[in-house]
Structure 1
Amino acid sequence: MATVLDQLREMTVVVADTGEVAAVKTYQPVDCTTNPSLVLGALQDPASEALVSREIEAGRKAGRSAQQVCDALTVAVGAELAALVPGRVSTEVDACLSFDTDATVARARAIIADYAARGIDKSRILIKIAATWEGIRAAEILQGEGVDCNLTLLFSLAQAVACADAKAFLISPFVGRITDWYKKAEGKDSYGPNEDPGVLSVKGIYDYYKSNGIDTVVMGASFRSTDQIKALAGCDRLTIAPKLLEEMGREEAVLPRALSEKTASAAAPITMDERAFRWAMNADAMATEKLAEGIRNFDADHQKLIKMIAARMG
């Protein structure tokens, strides 16, 4: 019998949620995604030492700051991953720019230019931006320039609707983090797959998109268990950590399709301007808290990365 992972690949594009070269070589995903936490892991990964040393030395010789070397290293890691996957590599804009549309656009353009200088076309890259109102507006501008975006830290239908209106290429709703919040709020240890709040959130977004003919790709992210992944089999894409990929690669069982555009419920379209967006986020404590927490944590890892690079630069 085919493994659960092999069956999942028949109905969903599998993305590796890692920046580790060895893991990408092992699991051979179509796409891969990076963020400051994952680049930080690459900095500490022996398999990436040659790349890290090369970028730091080049930065030192050019008189660049630790921040500039950090920016270059992020793209260098992405470039190495792009050589290993047939699809896209997501590269994240600095979290500290999440509430600045113009700065986000400028940083995204710089990332694309750096990739181009390394011989990698923008068609191989997704610019990863936090799904704040300002970030979504930046994505709208970038999409108009032919730069595809991945809107991340997405926790609500309001965010998903705004991203679709902006013609974002892809969204990353965070399953596990939603479930974590509800476990704490409701005092529960676990949920069944069909009552899991994170799973239900993605199912609702997927249904809304398919009901309204929206092309934006839904990529479930931040999984805590293989049960959550199985409950979303058939989603456009799923980005999965190596540990969970390994578990599914060992398991032999029938994996039924859970999501299909053929079963969309014909959900009515929703009007989402800035006022409606901000009110919907204000009314959703989980989405507001997890978005803010995610931005803070990504920025903390980014700052840690810069400090580590500065220490190595001497």
Structure 2
Amino acid sequence: MGFETVAPNRKGSKEFLALAEETNSKSKTRKGRRRQRKMSPVQKLYETCKEVFSFCGAGVIPPAEDIQRLSSVLDAMEPADVGLTPDLPYFRMTVARRTPVITYLHLYECEKFSMGIFCLPPSGVLPLHNHPGMTVFSKLLFGTMHIKSYDWVAGAPEKTLASANPSLVAPPGVHLAKVKVDADFTAPCKTSILYPADGGNMHCFTAVTACAVLDVLGPPYSDPDGRHCQYYLDYPFSRFPDGGVSVPEDEKEGYAWLEDIEKPEDLAVDGAKYRGPEIQEN
């Protein structure tokens, strides 16, 4: 009965409801902030990738603002965020093999994107390879790495000219490319980005010191969908001077001929279990 005597006070009732709604709203906001504070960097990376690549596919580049957003997340990541330290066995030199073994840590993959880490001991090499139809983000987590990358030269002739000396003509499967990057990078540094037809779509990684690079590919490789990883050998431009392309003498070092090859026999990439913070799929 006492409750019924209060109910008719409509003004008081409205004020009470408004206060309750405000309190509930503030509570939800605080809970949301707590969830954000608890989200690990690798979980944040996963959530950002889901949003950025949600409407993308082969050859489709995310909007500029999404590129920047994902880059900022990667720029802030450190080795500890994915459970890595330079003293792990992945980064040690071995004498058993002439070519150092590279370790790949698989974080996540779906049809839209993939996340993984390449762990390279000193002198480890990821040979020159392409990323067909992909937008790729590479974040050097620690160490020093030499990156050399190329883009195809638009409009370069598919067939070479006739020549009195066949050895001076680029053979089938050899195409002209322009050097995009040829430099050492030392962590911490900005995330590098390559696009389907720009930014150095074909690249080679060489570990100057032990290093780790976190790769995000959108979309990932897929043989059934025609996104096969193609490897290349690169030759200086002067190797095939009768290739049907004229380049000023002082610019020739900025070009190269790339030849399609099979996966190098001495390339050894071993998979290992990712032991960093867990990624919660949703």
**What TM-score, normalized by structure 1, do the two folds share?**
0.22
The structure where helix makes up a greater share of residues is 1
The structure where strand makes up a greater share of residues is 2
**What TM-score, normalized by structure 2, do the two folds share?**
0.24
